[in-house]
């Protein structure tokens, strides 16, 4: 008899659960981001169907716990409202045994949520990202036609009119009329200009599928803000740029094994690697400044630098140093320039600004920039004195810096630069100085704080996911028991019964994860995440052991 009753409850429970889940998934999918893409006309019908196929499992992960909660409260509440549990009790049936279908549904929902959120959804997100990158030309075209401009890395491009031409599936061309561009270097305006017409080719390697972007500007007028130079080009091509196929790594879309791996190896996170590369560039730049200052203030009083094209000998009567960046500040400067063909030129200036910047490109190449300030006198070393040219400010050609600095032995490993990053207690501890000035020390302290917060964020995501999946084991049985106690056969009653415990779990989970991301409250956040489950488990014991017997 008990088996017949359990099969009857199971059939009603899973029928309500399935119908509710399908309805909620369709609403979340078609009335959310996918509908916006339909209105934007970015994707074709086939691509849209592929996108929906990827979005549906993601929606299912979010909606299945809600559907299971509602189904438990509705089915058990309706059975109680029809006095069927009273009949079972009068027949000597233990009504606690009738909660077995709800417990089985909780195991299924918890397993589904755990598997999809920790193992399958990250792969689907990567496939969605690959779909967008494959149709990059459509995304760029839509961006320029709707918003009028686009930004990537240090470039901003404005388009007056755009036209897209599709040659084949591996070659598309975007034509832009009345284009304007801005280029930034280290968040500083470097160049700006206009082009009568721009041609951007999107090429896809048929073997590897890697997209490549190649641009060419016609009738270009450009202003170099750094060098204060205006230039005109009839044609300015840009080197092809390969677009990486992998998506930007976001911890919330990582699988659980990867989260656990990065939790133990924080410095291997791509974002942290970028922090480290930027910090190493700052350290190396400061080391160059320190070396230049020591050369100018040393016994010889001269700094020599050069590459295959040009060599400079720099002297200054007065040399000081910025206390924060250690940048040399030079006054009454003399520069002897020797070109590859042997010709020499002498510059004399009131001052000189020295800067070190990283060359664009994949190689780790640094360039030294010398900008003469004030009144500058230029004269060929072998020419007569009356041929000297005088003008205000002058930018010399940049030269490639050597890979190593003479006498420099500073270790640039992550351990030396950042110290301990896995212990949140070290968040506020001062790092030992490297003797490279306050700017480097502040950057090291700031980057270490970012890395520690990244580790806390990963820990918060792990605990939040596991707690959210485990909550299904206690919350569904509680919803079924509350449905029996309050006889929630009506739609509104069942909704309220399922809504309240669900909100307790969600609110405490979100609050706990946010607190775990801060170094001072990470333990409080962890207690809050798992405290919600403990609270529901106590509620299960009280309701099943006390109120349900009545």
Beta-bridged to residue 158, according to DSSP, are 149, 180
Distance CA 376, CA 391 (A): 5
Backbone angles phi, psi at 294, to 5 degrees: -65, -35
How would residue 169 be classed by pLDDT, with cut points 50, 70 and 90? confident
Query: What pLDDT, on the 0 to 100 scale, is given for residue 323?
Result: 84
Nearest to 337 by CA among 353, 314, 316: 314
117 Cβ partners below 8 Å, 6+ apart? 61, 465, 468, 469
Q: Average pLDDT for residues 427-452, to the nearest whole number?
A: 82
pLDDT for the residue numbered 386:
63
SS3 335: strand
Strands (DSSP E) along 210-343, which ranges?
A: 211-224, 229-237, 241-242, 303-306, 310-321, 328-339
The string of pLDDT tens digits covering residues 265-300 is 888 888 788 888 888 888 888 888 888 889 999 888
Q: So what's the pLDDT on residue 454? A: 86
Residue 56: name the closest of 107, 104, 128 by CA.
128
Does the pLDDT value for residue 212 go beyond 60?
yes
- Nearest residue to 396 (alpha-carbon basis) of 341, 327, 347: 347
With 50 as the cut, is the pLDDT of residue 37 above it? no
Q: Please give the pLDDT value at position 209.
A: 66
The pLDDT score that the predictor gives to residue 333 is: 92
- Please determine, for residue 496, whether its predicted confidence score (pLDDT) is greater than 60: yes
Q: pLDDT value at position 66?
A: 85
pTM here? 0.70
Under 8 Å between Cβ of 131 and 209: no
Mean pLDDT of all residues belonging to the chain? 80
Residue 1 has pLDDT above 80, yes or no: no
- Mean pLDDT computed over 339-349: 88
What was the pLDDT predicted at 201? 87
Q: Give the model's pLDDT for residue 41.
A: 42
157-161, 195-199, 413-417, 455-459: least confident range: 413-417
Model confidence at 42, in pLDDT bands (50, 70, 90)? very low
State which of 24-28, 116-120, 184-188, 401-405 shows the largest mean pLDDT. Answer: 116-120
pLDDT at 382 over 60: yes
Q: Which of 12-16, 81-85, 277-281 has the lowest mean pLDDT?
A: 81-85
CB atoms within 10 A of CB 529: 25
- Distances in Å between the Cα of 64 and the Cα atoms of 59, 131, 248 are 8, 26, 28
Residue 331: pLDDT band (50, 70, 90) is very high
Q: What percent of the chain has pLDDT over 90?
A: 8
pLDDT at 128: 66
Q: Band of the pLDDT at 108, cuts 50, 70, 90?
A: very high
> Is there a contact between 276 and 267 (Cβ–Cβ < 8 Å)?
yes
Residue 542: count of CB within 10 angstroms of its CB: 13
Q: Which of 33-42, 288-297, 375-384 has the lowest average pLDDT?
A: 33-42
For the segment 328-338, the average pLDDT, to the nearest whole number, is 91
Rounded Cα gap, residues 510 and 58, in angstroms = 19
Given a contact cutoff of 8 angstroms between Cβ atoms, the answer to whether 184 and 190 are in contact is yes
Indicate whether 409 pLDDT > 60.
no
């Amino acid at each position: 008899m008990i088996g017949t009753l359990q099969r009857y409850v199971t059939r009603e429970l899973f029928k309500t659960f399935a119908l509710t889940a399908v309805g909620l998934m369709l609403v979340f999918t078609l009335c959310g981001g996918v509908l916006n893409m339909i209105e934007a006309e970015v994707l074709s019908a086939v691509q849209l169907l592929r996108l929906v196929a990827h979005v549906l499992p993601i929606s299912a992960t979010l909606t299945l716990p809600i559907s299971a909660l509602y189904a438990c409260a509705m089915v058990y509440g309706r059975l109680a409202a029809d006095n069927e549990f009273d009949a079972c009790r009068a027949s000597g049936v233990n009504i606690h045994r009738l909660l077995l279908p709800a417990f089985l549904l909780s195991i299924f929902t918890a397993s589904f949520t755990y598997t999809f959120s920790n193992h399958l959804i990250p792969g689907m997100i990567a496939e969605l990202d690959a779909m967008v990158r494959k149709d990059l030309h459509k995304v760029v075209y839509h961006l320029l036609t709707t918003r009028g401009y686009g930004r990537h890395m240090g470039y901003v491009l404005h388009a007056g009119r755009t036209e897209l031409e599709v040659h084949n599936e591996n070659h598309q061309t975007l034509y832009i009329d009345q284009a304007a561009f801005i280029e930034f270097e280290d968040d500083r305006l470097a160049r700006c200009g206009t082009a009568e017409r721009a041609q951007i080719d999107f090429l896809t390697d048929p073997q590897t599928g890697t997209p490549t972007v190649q641009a060419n500007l016609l009738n270009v007028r450009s202003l170099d803000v750094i060098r204060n130079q205006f230039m005109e080009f009839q044609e300015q091509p840009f080197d092809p740029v390969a677009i990486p196929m992998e998506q930007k790594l976001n911890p919330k879309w990582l699988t659980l094994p990867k989260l656990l791996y990065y939790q133990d190896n924080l410095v291997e996170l791509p974002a942290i690697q970028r922090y480290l590369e930027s910090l190493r560039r700052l350290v190396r730049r400061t080391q160059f400044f320190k070396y230049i200052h020591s050369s100018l203030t040393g016994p010889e009083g001269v700094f020599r630098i050069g590459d295959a094209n040009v060599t400079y000998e720099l002297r200054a009567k007065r040399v000081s140093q910025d206390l924060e960046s250690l940048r040399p500040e030079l006054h009454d400067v003399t520069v002897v320039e020797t070109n590859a063909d042997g010709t020499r030129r002498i510059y004399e200036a009131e001052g000189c600004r020295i800067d070190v910047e990283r060359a664009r490109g994949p190689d780790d190449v640094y360039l030294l920039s010398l900008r003469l300030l004030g009144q500058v006198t230029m004269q060929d070393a072998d020419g007569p004195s009356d041929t000297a040219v005088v003008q205000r400010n002058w930018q010399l050609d940049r030269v490639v810096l050597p890979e190593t600095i003479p006498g420099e032995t500073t270790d640039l490993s992550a351990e030396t630069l950042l110290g301990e990053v896995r212990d949140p207690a070290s968040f506020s501890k001062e790092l030992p100085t490297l003797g490279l000035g306050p700017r480097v020390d502040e950057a090291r302290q700031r980057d270490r704080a970012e890395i520690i917060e990244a580790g806390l964020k990963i820990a918060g995501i792990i605990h939040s996911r596991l707690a959210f999946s485990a909550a299904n084991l206690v919350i569904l049985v509680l919803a079924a028991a509350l449905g029996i106690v309050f006889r929630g056969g009506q739609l509104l009653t069942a909704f309220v019964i399922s809504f309240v415990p669900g909100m307790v779990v969600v609110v405490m989970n979100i609050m706990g994860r946010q607190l775990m991301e801060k170094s001072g409250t990470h333990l409080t956040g962890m207690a809050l995440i798992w405290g919600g489950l403990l609270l529901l488990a106590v509620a299960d014991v009280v309701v099943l052991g006390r109120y349900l017997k009545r």
